[in-house]
Structure 1
């Protein structure tokens, strides 16, 4: 009986999908080198897993390191799972490259696609495993699977589900590609491009509809940057919230105004442009764990969304307006 093929592969894994990729590859291949940034999610668990199997983990400072490893170790494939640099054609030509991409290619080429799928109100997300060519996320599809985005899904919960699919499928897909499977061509006519990064300007505009704010919060759940607001100059990342009742009954409503809170249950209700959002937990600056929103926001007289800089700007604008009115008064006298 012949032994199953265990080809040598190199793994490039900078982000939150890397550990699932490593576990999948280790079950079907010999992982001979991992390149990874040192400060990424799951780095300790990944490093411990690799160390137990004698797999070197190295920080990739420049792409010439990858070129040298390919020349020295002659891997059957280089596998990419969460990697934020473009590999030049000269390196792509030196080895077979397989990439894991968390979208239903050819839609949402680029980065941060799971985040943007939630923020943009998509109903599905997905995983695509494809051959790498010089065109961005443009190679033949080796595997693809869709998952639904539910009303309560966050970017973290979707990553968990997609990572589970990756762990089940990646090793086998890579072995099939190494043994000759070429996959199927993408439909370039339906290609679309997501943004190139996770949004880092996730400040909540309380004048927006409740649904829009809710999607922003769910699309930026920590360890991603987090959707945030301000209270008395303090920045608050909202980690858990949900849409509530219609706000049309509130007379003279001001978006961002606190209209209800429960100290026993920890939630706070905030007016939006068209309704109410219930905030359950927030993350304070420099804190490691979220806390109940009501433990931070102690009054229904508070209004969220004004940073200290915003307040200073408003004060300066008011002072300028008063000075202008005084000049007009003086001229009339």
Structure 2
């Protein structure tokens, strides 16, 4: 009996989805090349897996590299997973392209879809595998599955669940597409675009409602940039927090003010625009590992949210006020 030949695949992969994409494809296909973006942290698991199977991994410095590999290897398909460069139409025309997109297309086209789904208070996230056409995240759907977003879900937790679906489904979906499956069209009449990227300015405005702040923190959980505040002029990333539902009502509240602290349990309570958020762990400046919030915030007299720039502005405003008062005093004398 003749062994059935596996289709040859090129994979463009980066970020938190690349490793499971490679494992899924390697189980059903022959991956002849993996391309990654330059200047990215080394993907240790992906690199070790590829090295053990003799799969070459290279940085994609320019799209001409991809064009040459397609011309030389003539792969059955190029698969894209967490690779945010736009492939121009003249390269898309060279072979079949399949993309993995972590949203329920046509909703949340673009990037950072899982992050924004949490931040915007959506109740579901999802994965879509689709054929690639020149339109952004367009093309027929080959596979789609929704997952619920729980009240305590973080972006990293959702990625783990979506990665598990990708690993289970991607290889088989790509094989079906190679053998002729064309998928189903997207309902583009209801398309919505997500924001272009993970928000870099994830600074917490403590005047906002507790629920909004909680969603921002869960939507930017490290290794994503992290929602941050300021303490004594230093940036402080909030790694783990949750609304305190049994908090007392504080009269004359000052958002950002610390109102409770437990050194033994490590948490710190901070006032928001309408309640209290309990912070469990934070990531101080120049630190790679989260630590207990109470070990960094040592007093209930602290107020969060003042950056060095804020403090300088306040100093300048006070100096201007003092100068005005001095002028009034001199005028009266």
State the partner residue of 2:177: 177
1:96 aligns with 2:101: no
Q: Distance in 1 between matches of 2:89 and 2:253?
A: 57
Task: Report if aligned partners of 1:110, 1:137 keep a CA contact under 8 Å in 2.
Answer: yes
Q: Which runs of no fewer than 5 residues in structure 2 stay unpaired?
A: none
Shift of 1:150: 0.3
State the partner residue of 1:21: 21
User: Structure 1-normalised TM-score?
Assistant: 0.97
Alignment of 1:293-304 (within 5 A): 293-304=293-304
Identify which range, 288-297 or 40-49, moves more after superposition.
40-49
Aligned residues: 333
Runs of 4+ in structure 1 deviating by more than 4 angstroms, as ranges, are: 38-42
Counterpart secondary structure, 1:17:
helix
User: 1:79-115, CA deviations, whole angstroms, 9 ceiling, x for partnerless residues?
Assistant: 0000111000000000100000000000000000000
Q: Distance in 1 between matches of 2:113 and 2:102?
A: 7
Task: Report if aligned partners of 2:100, 2:129 keep a CA contact under 8 Å in 1.
Answer: yes
Shift of 1:6: 1.2
Q: Which runs of no fewer than 5 residues in structure 1 stay unpaired?
A: none
Shift of 1:246: 6.2
Task: Report if aligned partners of 2:37, 2:83 keep a CA contact under 8 Å in 1.
Answer: no
State the partner residue of 2:80: 80
Task: Report if aligned partners of 1:140, 1:186 keep a CA contact under 8 Å in 2.
Answer: yes
State the partner residue of 2:315: 315
Tell me how large the CA RMSD over aligned residues is: 1.4
State the partner residue of 2:105: 105
State the partner residue of 1:133: 133
1:279 aligns with 2:279: yes
User: Structure 2-normalised TM-score?
Assistant: 0.97
State the partner residue of 2:215: 215
Q: Distance in 1 between matches of 2:201 and 2:325?
A: 36
Task: Report if aligned partners of 1:16, 1:40 keep a CA contact under 8 Å in 2.
Answer: no
State the partner residue of 2:116: 116
Counterpart secondary structure, 1:266:
coil
User: 1:134-178, CA deviations, whole angstroms, 9 ceiling, x for partnerless residues?
Assistant: 000010000000000001100000000000000000000000000
Counterpart secondary structure, 1:78:
strand
Shift of 1:274: 0.2
